[in-house]
């Protein structure tokens, strides 16, 4: 990839140098140097993404949808396979998927919105809001510790795995408790709160598993196994609201376009205040992810340790692996949604396409950042658009 970048840089420098130095009549228009660089890089990025991700689709015969957007500009989008294997309904850009634990960031934002309104403080003890935490074992757990999985809580009702605040253990029960806190302080159900958030953000095709009323229209049924022996997961999407999963922890349904809208609004400061967003993305714990390795953890969001800077979260409920990534330096979203998983091969195998796409987009992000810096320093400041 680095060789491709250097070749592109060399060619662009030659083109711009020739254009700037050519002995012609007066230029008709002055072009902003940054605009030239951005346009060239975007064209390069589109080609590279298509080459890299198309090959991953082909390698795994990936059944799902992938979208890459810079701000609101689509750099890449592709769908392959079926949303319903029985009817052979093809996935399209309006297909609605279960997104699993990608849902956690919506719960975290609902909590932070209440904090902005003075209804709670993230350092408050959970026992202030929920009776089930008013025991000696749980009484000192804070909202902050639920948000970044440092409470020591595993399954609710059991003993803590460690003293709250001293370790990391990923807890769905912790996020379901956060959903109950949202209900407590707002006087509305979790579904009402999150649907209101979707509406304000412009996410017209997102809902919860329990509120979904599409009667199967555009919904990607979840399957286990392979395309040849796909076994439908029963009671979807209603089962997402049950005790096994829980809507605040993993019960949201969404689309590629809606998650792009969410990323653009959230990281663009349109949902929570800048200082609140900083708390959301600040690394307050670390985890060793079974699939994606060592990473930082904020409030319902994970982050790379090292370059490139990225905020992301994977999700998995039976048959539906997902991954939502945001690169803040270039304002780029990468969203990967699917609706079939062969659990017999383990989680690492299920997420191989997602892992490879993230590795590719991480590398492309680093390349694009370095390339832009080189080009900005190389392209003449007063590059001109000349008459033919």
In tens, the pLDDT along 305-314 reads: 999 999 999 9
Q: Regarding predicted confidence, which is higher, 377 or 272?
A: 272
Q: Map out the domains of the chain as residue ranges.
A: 60-368
Q: How far apart are CA 117 and CA 249, in angstroms?
A: 23
Q: Pseudo-torsion of CA 170, 171, 176, 178, nearest 10°? A: -60
Kindly provide the b/e burial profile for residues 314-334, where b requires at least 16 CB atoms within 10 angstroms of the residue's own CB: bbbbbbbbbbbbbbeebbbbb
DSSP reduced 3-state for 247: helix
Q: How far apart are CA 152 and CA 137, in angstroms?
A: 10
pLDDT at 372: 81
pLDDT at 101: 98
Q: Regarding predicted confidence, which is higher, 6 or 385?
A: 6
DSSP labels, 56-74: HHHHHT--EEEEEEETTEE
High-pLDDT (> 70) share of the chain, %: 88
pLDDT at 35: 77
Nearest to residue 100, comparing CAs of 256, 272, 251, 283? 251
- What's this model's pTM, rounded to 2 decimal places? 0.91
Q: Regarding predicted confidence, which is higher, 1 or 311?
A: 311
How confident is residue 215, by pLDDT bands cut at 50, 70 and 90?
low
Residue 219 phi, psi dihedral angles, 5° rounding: -85, 130
Tokens of 34: 């940054």
Q: How far apart are CA 115 and CA 138, in angstroms?
A: 22
Taking each helix axis from N to C terminus, what angle separates 33-60 and 352-378, rounded to the nearest 10 degrees? 160
Q: Which residues contact 238 (CB under 8 A, 6 or more apart)?
A: 209, 210, 212
Q: How far apart are CA 61 and CA 91, in angstroms?
A: 13
pLDDT at 19: 46
Length of the chain: 388
How confident is residue 18, by pLDDT bands cut at 50, 70 and 90?
very low
Stretch 219-240: mean pLDDT, rounded? 96
Q: What share of the chain is helix, strand, coil (3-state, %, to 5)?
A: 45, 20, 35
Residue pLDDT, tens place only, 20-64: 544 444 443 445 667 777 888 888 899 999 999 999 999 999 999
DSSP 304: -
Q: Regarding predicted confidence, which is higher, 217 or 262?
A: 262
pLDDT surpasses 90 at 209: yes
Stretch 74-79: mean pLDDT, rounded? 98
CATH architecture of 60-368: 3-Layer(aba) Sandwich (3.40)
Number of helices (H) and strands (E), helices first, in the chain?
A: 11, 18
Tokens of 197: 């958030």
DSSP reduced 3-state for 220: coil
Tokens of 377: 């320093």
232-237-242 Cα angle (round to 5) = 110
Q: How does the average pLDDT of the chain come out, rounded?
A: 90
Residue pLDDT, tens place only, 139-187: 999 999 999 999 999 988 889 999 999 999 999 999 999 999 999 999 9
Contact by Cβ (8 Å): 310, 362: yes
Tokens of 278: 């900083």
Nearest to residue 126, comparing CAs of 158, 156, 161, 105? 156
pLDDT at 15: 44
Q: Which residues contact 106 (CB under 8 A, 6 or more apart)?
A: 194, 197, 252, 300
Beta strand 223-224 with 231-232: parallel, antiparallel or unpaired?
antiparallel
pLDDT at 28: 38
Residue pLDDT, tens place only, 323-350: 999 999 999 999 999 999 999 988 899 9
pLDDT at 24: 47
């Amino acid at each position: 990839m680095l060789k491709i970048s250097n070749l592109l840089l060399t060619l662009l420098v030659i083109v711009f140098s020739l254009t700037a130095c050519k002995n012609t009549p007066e230029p008709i228009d002055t072009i902003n140097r940054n605009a030239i660089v951005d346009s060239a890089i975007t064209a390069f990025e589109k080609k590279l993404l298509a080459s890299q991700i198309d090959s991953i689709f082909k390698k795994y015969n990936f059944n799902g949808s992938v979208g890459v957007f810079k701000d609101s500009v689509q750099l890449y989008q592709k769908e392959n396979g079926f949303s319903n294997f029985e009817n052979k309904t093809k996935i399209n850009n309006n297909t609605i998927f279960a997104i699993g634990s990608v849902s956690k960031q919506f719960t975290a934002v609902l909590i932070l919105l209440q904090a902005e309104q003075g209804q709670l403080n993230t350092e408050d003890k959970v026992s202030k809001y929920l009776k089930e935490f008013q025991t000696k074992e749980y009484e000192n757990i804070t909202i902050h510790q639920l948000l970044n999985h440092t409470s020591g809580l595993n399954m609710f009702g059991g003993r803590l795995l460690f003293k709250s605040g001293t370790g990391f253990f990923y807890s769905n029960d912790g996020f379901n408790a956060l959903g109950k806190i949202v209900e407590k302080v707002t006087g509305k159900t979790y579904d009402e709160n999150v649907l209101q958030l979707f509406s304000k953000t412009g996410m017209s095709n997102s809902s919860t598993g329990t509120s979904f009323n599409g009667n199967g229209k555009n919904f990607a049924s979840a399957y286990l196994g392979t395309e040849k022996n796909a076994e439908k997961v029963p009671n979807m999407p209603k089962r997402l609201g049950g005790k096994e999963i829980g809507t605040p922890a993993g019960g949201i349904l969404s689309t590629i376009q809606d998650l792009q809208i969410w990323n653009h609004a959230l990281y663009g400061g349109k949902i929570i205040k800048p200082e609140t967003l900083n708390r959301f993305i600040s690394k307050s714990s670390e985890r060793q992810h079974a699939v994606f390795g060592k990473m930082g953890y904020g409030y319902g969001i994970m982050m790379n340790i090292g370059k490139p800077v990225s905020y992301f979260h994977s999700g998995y409920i039976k048959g539906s692996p997902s991954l939502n990534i945001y690169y803040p330096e270039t304002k780029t979203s990468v969203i990967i949604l699917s609706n079939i998983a062969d659990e017999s091969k383990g989680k690492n195998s299920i997420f191989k396409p997602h892992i490879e796409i993230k590795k590719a987009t991480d590398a492309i992000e680093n390349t694009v950042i370095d390339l832009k810096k080189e080009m900005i320093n190389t392209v003449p400041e007063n590059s001109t658009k000349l008459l033919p």
